[in-house]
Structure formats: structure tokens, C-alpha cells
Chain A
Amino acid sequence: MRAEAGVVAAAALLALAPLALGNPYVLLILILANLYVGFAASWDILAGYAGQFNFGQALFVGAGAYAAGFLAGRLPAVLGLAAAALVAAGLALLIGLPCLRLRHAYLSLVTLVAPLILERLVFTFRGITGGEYGITLEPFAGRLGLFYITLAYALGTVLILHRLGRGRLGLTLLAIREDDVAAQAAGVAIVRYKLAAFVLCAAFAGVGGGLYAHALGAVAPVAFSLDVSFAIIAMGAVGGMGTIIGPALGAYGLTLAGESLRGVEHARGILYAAILLAAVLFLPDGIMGALAARRTAVQATAVKASA
């Protein structure tokens, strides 16, 4: 599979990066880029494949960060990360079960509001969450170690979700995205599939959120911010929704672009808005769409298996 081979090659190249750019600050940027790859790729499974626009990916990132942050020092990091995935997945079920039957736009509104609610809860239960001060934690690995671990996380997330996207799950989600009424008439249990996409999205983002907490050595309510959610949306849209790899590219591109604007912090929001606007106007299918030679149909998995 050419695309997947490309991803592995890119990861291999990145693995060599610390040899050339050993500077710890640069490593932190790359760690963040790796994490955003995971956040954007998992967002894509819900927004790009299932067609369910998610305005609050930060919800799962933040939930995972707080879960891992809280458990750091109490449990081994691996368990903390597993808990991060479970907490995020649990939130997805909690929101999804009542709300996935809602028509499209209403669930999107719920995703916009949910992180704000959780942010409020963080302040309410300040005994556990540290309120506005958040939690500080001892990272389970040094910066170099975290770089490789987050790189593995990014690679694993992209490969697993890409594979799922090319299989039966991805095909069904795309059908739901094209026309969910027709999908129902074709016998698809759309709520079950949307829920699966929601939970997958949450679990992978949650693990990343847990790693995020360790990378920063701290968790604060800002983890739930709209900035995080909108950055992820920009990455997905610019990279090309419904491809997994597109958002991964977008994640690296926008993280690095954002960092090059370090001097002008407040311009970052404008930068993302400008990029998003340009993408919508000139690259409606994102970078991946522009790279695809021509519009080909999404094939049945039987055909893809022989490709």
C-alpha cells in the first residue's frame, strides 16, 4: 500500500531528526506535531469518514490529559494512558448514546459545547483537578524518549485508522457520510457505526491527550480550549478530510508553521483562519485531494484488497 509505505518512510526519517536537531525546544515542537497528528487523524475518522463534524476534539484531548495527569505518580504511565483512552471513550459513549440520533448539525453543536461544560466541571471539582492551576506531573520519560513514544503513537494511529478506513468500517462510514438515509435503507445500522467512529476518535485522541500531559509536565483547563479544537479542524481541512494521511500532513505543516510565528502569538489565530480560508477556496479537498491525479471512486474493499 503505497500511501502507508510513505507514512512509514516519513516516520523513519523523522526518527533520525534528533540526530540533526537535538535542541530540546525543537524536540518539544516535534512532540507536539506528533501529538497533533494523532488528534487530527482520529478527528478525521469521525468528520472525514462518518461525515460528523466535530467542533470539540479538545474534549477528548483534555479528558485524556486530565486522566493521565491525575494518575501520574499513582499508577504506571502505561495504565495512566490506558485510563486516558477509556475516559475519553467513555465520554464519547456518554455524549453519543443520547445525541447520535440527532440530525447532523445538532450533534455538531453538542461537540462545540461539550468541552466548555467539561472545562466548567474542572473548576467545580478543583480538589481533584487543581482548578485554574491545573495539575503538574513528573513525565514518565525524558524529552527524547517522549519524542520517540509520540512518534510511535502518531505512526500507530495513522496506520491503524488508515487501515480501518480502507476496510468495511471506512466504506460504511463513507456511505453514511454520502447519504445516511440511503444507508439506512440499505440496512446499515447508522447509529452503531457513528458511535463506533465517535469512540475510535475519542480513544486515540485520549491517549494522545495523556501523552500531551506528560510532554508538558502539566495539565490545565486550556487543554479544552477552542484553539485546540479549531487548530485540529484546520489541520484536517487543509490536509484533506477522509484520508487520515491528509490530516496527519496538515498537523505537521500547521504545527511547524505555527511555531515559525512564535514571535507574534496573537497572529496564530489569524494564521489558522487565513489558511483555512485559503484551503476552502483553493483546495477544497485539501492537499491529499490536490495530489490525487483524478477523482476516482471509493472502491469496494474486495477491489482494494487486491490493490
Chain B
Amino acid sequence: MALLEVNGLTKRFRGVTALDGVSLQVEAGEAVGIMGPNGAGKTTLYNVVSGFVAADAGSVRLRGEEIAGLSPNRVVAKGLARTFQVPRPFRRLSVAAHLEVVRPAGGAPTDRDRTATEAVLALVGLGGKANEAAGTLSQGELKRLEVARALAARPSLLLLDEPFAGLGPAEIPGLSALLRRLHGEGMTLLIVEHKLRELMALVQRVVVLDYGCVIAQGPPEGVVRDPRVLAAYLGTT
């Protein structure tokens, strides 16, 4: 049984078919890339899988359990967390406070919680900024905070939406190393990304979407040479 199973997912917005019977599977421990030109349906796919948008048809199963139709916070409770393409920090809250918001248990924070928060912050390289307001962080730091916040939910599957977007050459290696380390420690990753080099360094398999359909799937080297994929990106007929 795959960790994530998406079957025949369809979503229409008025006249536009954003997802047209999309099916894909992600096994536990895999790192899978999602590619496609703008408007291909990548973000809609994430929005449906994470519970922000209801699909018109199809199913989403996490460890065999149907999660389509659950509200976003219930999906997180089931073990699936996502980041946003443009970081959505809680600007006035401190970095550490972001993680505390996620903490599932009730009651006063314990020493264990504090240690866990420090560990996650150290992992993403934000340890020194624990008490800083998120609004003061750089773009790269915000991206890492996005990952930290998602990690605080202790997910089995992490959906990353263009994690490298907006990052300069100085910031990319740090984030790449972090994601590689997470994957190495067993985290299952789904990564939407346009930056081919960074994506290929991270994933074993790529799924390509175009106009809401899966048009190619396979190891990255083969997929980027696939004529259908080239046609989708370059628009050649």
C-alpha cells in the first residue's frame, strides 16, 4: 500500500478544468518531484490533497484511509503537512511561537516540547532566531520557517510547494541540504519545483502535469527529455 494514493482527481473552476483525472502514487520514503508549466494544476493538486479545496471527483488516500473532503487541519492530524509557494508566516509571532501553534497537545508547554522546538529550529538552521519576529526574517529564512512549521506537525508526508522559488545562490545549498537530510532520515517528500537542477538532486522520480493531466512520469533524466514534456514547456506542436 502506497503512503499516498491519488486516483482520478478532477477539479473544475467554472470553465477551467484544473485537474483532469490525475492519478499518482507515492511510496513511503520516496522523494517525488512534480513539474509542469504554469497553470498545469500543481498548486490545485496540493490544495485538494491538503484539504483546502474540495475535488469534484476522485479520491485521495493516505495509508489507505480516504482523506479527500477532510478540512486542512484534520489532514495535518492524519500526517500530511504542506508548505506554501509564497511563505505565509505569522508576521508578529516569534519563530518559536510558530512551532508552538502547531503543537498538538493541550496544556502548558513542557520541557520536552521546548527541546523539540529547539531541535526543529536547529535542524532548519533558525536556532539563533527563536525569539525574533517572523516579519524580520529574510526570504531564505522564511522558507526554512515554512519547513520547520510543517515539520512541527510530525508529518509522514511533506508537500513542498516551490521551496527554492525566490532563493538566491547563497541560500539554495542550505535548503537543499536540509531537504536531503530530511529525506535521508526517512521523510517522504513531494516537491513541486521549477528549478530543475535542485529538483533532480533531490528526487528519484518526477511526475509532469500539463492542463490538469499527468503527461509523463519516471526518473528525472528521462522525463526532461520526453518530447511531450518539452512540448508542454516550450509549446511546440
Q: Are A and B co-members of a single complex? A: yes
Which residues on A are within 8 Å of B, measured CB to CB? 167-168, 171-172, 174-175, 178-179, 181-190, 295-303, 305
Q: Mind listing 28 A-B residue pairs with CB under 8 Å? A: A168-B109, A171-B97, A171-B101, A174-B90, A175-B93, A175-B97, A179-B90, A182-B88, A183-B90, A185-B72, A186-B152, A186-B153, A187-B104, A188-B101, A188-B102, A296-B133, A297-B97, A297-B131, A298-B92, A298-B133, A299-B96, A299-B97, A299-B131, A301-B108, A302-B109, A302-B113, A302-B114, A305-B109
B93–A171 CB distance below 8 A: yes
B19 at the interface (CB under 8 A from A): no
Q: A179-B89, A181-B52 are in contact. Are A298 and B94 (CB under 8 A)?
A: yes
**Complex contact A183–B101 (CB within 8 A):** yes
Question: Given known contacts A297-B97, A303-B96, is B73 in contact with A187 (CB within 8 Å)?
Answer: yes
| Interface pair A190/B73, CB less than 8 Å apart | yes
Cα(A171)–Cα(B99), bound, Å? 11
CB contacts (< 8 Å) of B73 on chain A: these are 184, 186-190
With a CB–CB cut-off of 8 A, which chain A residues contact B117?
300, 302
Q: Do residues B93 and A298 form an inter-chain contact, with CB atoms below 8 A? A: yes
Q: Does B71 have its Cβ within 8 Å of any Cβ on chain A?
A: yes
B81 touches A (CB below 8 Å) = yes
- The residue of chain B having its C-beta at the shortest distance from the C-beta of A296 within the complex is B133
Closest to A168 in B: B106
Bound complex: CA of A52 vs CA of B95, how far in Å?
24
Shortest Cβ distance from A182 into B: residue: B88
Q: Quick one: which of B93, B108, B152 contacts A178, CB cutoff 8 A?
A: B93
Q: What is the distance, in angstroms, from B118's C-beta to the closest C-beta of chain A?
A: 10
Contacts of B92 in A (CB 8 A): 174, 178, 297-298
Q: Is the CB of A182 within 8 A of B108?
A: no
Q: Which residue of chain A has its CB nearest to the CB of B83?
A: A185
Residues of chain A within 8 A of B72, CB atoms compared = 184-185
Per the bound structure, the CA–CA distance linking A186 and B120 in Å amounts to 15
Please state if B52 and A184 are interface contacts (CB–CB under 8 Å): yes
Taking a contact as CB atoms closer than 8 A, the residue among B52, B84, B94, B150 that contacts A300 in the complex is B94
* Chain B neighbourhood of A189, CB < 8 A: 71, 73
- Could you tell me the distance between the alpha carbons of A167 and B99 in the complex, rounded to whole angstroms? 14
User: Interface residue count for B (Cβ, 8 Å)?
Assistant: 42
How many angstroms between the C-alpha atoms of A175 and B90 in the bound complex? Answer: 6
Chain A's nearest CB lies how many Å from the CB of B127? 14
Q: Lowest 10 CB-CB distances: which A-B pairs, in order?
A: A297-B133, A187-B76, A182-B88, A297-B94, A178-B90, A184-B72, A302-B109, A300-B97, A300-B100, A300-B96
- Asked if residues A185 and B93 are in contact (CB atoms below 8 Å), the reply is no
Shortest beta-carbon distance, A273 to chain B, in Å? 28
Which of chain B's residues have a CB closer than 8 A to the CB of A174?
A: 90, 92-93
Residues of A within 8 A of B94 (CB): 297-300, 303
| Contact indicator A187/B93 (Cβ below 8 Å) | no
Q: Is the CB of B108 within 8 A of A186?
A: no
Assembly CA distance A171 to B149 (angstroms): 15
**Smallest Cβ distance from A253 to chain B, in angstroms?**
25
**In the complex, A85→B21 CA distance in Å?**
52
Q: By the criterion CB–CB under 8 Å, are B132 and A187 in contact?
A: no
Take A185-B50, A185-B72 as given contacts and tell me if A178 and B109 are in contact as well, using a CB distance cutoff of 8 Å: no
Q: B102 near A186 (CB under 8 angstroms)?
A: yes
Contact present for A182 and B90 (CB under 8 Å): yes
Task: Identify which of B89, B104, B109, B131 contacts A182 (C-beta below 8 A).
Answer: B89
A189 to B149, CA, bound (A): 16
A246 CB, nearest partner CB in chain B, Å: 15
User: What CA separation (Å) do A167 and B114 show in the bound complex?
Assistant: 15
Q: Which of A181, A188, A300 contacts B88 (CB 8 A)?
A: A181
How far is A172 from B106 in the complex, measured between Cα atoms in Å? 12
Q: Are A302 and B93 in contact (CB under 8 A)?
A: no
In the bound complex, residues from chain A placing their C-beta under 8 Å from that of B100 are 168, 171, 300-302
Closest to B92 in A: A298
B134 contacts partner chain A, Cβ-Cβ < 8 Å: yes
Q: Which residue of B lies closest to A298 (CB)?
A: B93
A190 CA to B73 CA, complexed, in Å: 8
Any A CB within 8 A of the CB of B77: yes
CB closest residue in chain B, given A189: B73
Answer whether residue B144 sits at the interface, using C-beta atoms and an 8 A cutoff. no
Instruction: Tell me how far the C-beta of B221 lies from the nearest C-beta in chain A, rounded to whole angstroms.
Output: 33
Which residue of chain A has its CB nearest to the CB of B95?
A297
> Who on chain B is nearest to A179 by CB?
B88
Does B82 interact with chain A (Cβ within 8 Å)? yes
Is the CB–CB distance between A187 and B84 below 8 Å? Answer: no
Give chain A nearest CB distance to B135 CB in angstroms.
Answer: 8
Q: For A181, what are the chain B residues with a Cβ–Cβ distance below 8 Å?
A: 52, 88
Instruction: Select one of B77, B88, B91, B109 contacting A187, CB under 8 A.
Output: B77
Q: Which of B92, B108, B134 has the most CB of A within 10 A?
A: B92
Q: For B111, give the chain A residue with the smallest CB separation.
A: A302
Give the chain A neighbours of B109 by CB distance below 8 A. Answer: 168, 300-302, 305
Q: A171-B100, A297-B131 are in contact. Are A182 and B84 (CB under 8 A)?
A: yes
